[in-house]
Amino acid sequence: MADERYPEPKAPDRMPPGQRFVNGWPVSHYGPVPRFRPERWSLRVFGATASGDTHEWTFDDLAGLPRTTVTADLHCASGPTSTGHEWYGIPATTVLDLVPPAPEVTHVMAWAEYGYSANLRLADFTSSQTLMATHHNGEPLTAEHGFPLRLVVPHLFGYKGPKWLRGIEYMTADRRGFWEERGYHNLADPWLQQRYSYQEDASD
Q: Any idea what the CATH number is for the domain that residue 144 is in? A: 3.90.420.10
What would the mean pLDDT of 77-104 be, rounded to a whole number? 96
Distances (CA, A) of 158 to 4, 117, 202: 23, 12, 23
Quick check: is 112 in a domain?
Answer: yes
Quickly list H helices, 134-182. Answer: none
pLDDT above 60: residue 45: yes
Sign of CA dihedral 128, 129, 133, 137: positive
- Looking only at the bridges linking them, the beta strands covering 139-140 and 131-136 are antiparallel
Per-residue model confidence (pLDDT) at position 166: 98
Least confident range from 19-33, 53-67, 131-145, 158-172: namely 19-33
Cα 127 from Cα 121, distance rounded (Å): 10
Quick check: is 2 in a domain?
Answer: no
Quick check: is 114 in a domain?
Answer: yes
Per-residue model confidence (pLDDT) at position 73: 93
Quick check: is 31 in a domain?
Answer: no
**Structural contact between residues 135 and 161, judged by C-beta atoms closer than 8 angstroms:** no
Quick check: is 18 in a domain?
Answer: no
Number of domains in the chain: 1
| pTM score | 0.90
Residue 24 confidence class, pLDDT cut points 50, 70, 90? confident
Quick check: is 8 in a domain?
Answer: no
Per-residue model confidence (pLDDT) at position 13: 52
Burial bucket for residue 6 (CB in 10 Å: 0-12, 13-18, 19+): middle
- Residue 152 belongs to domain spanning: 37-199
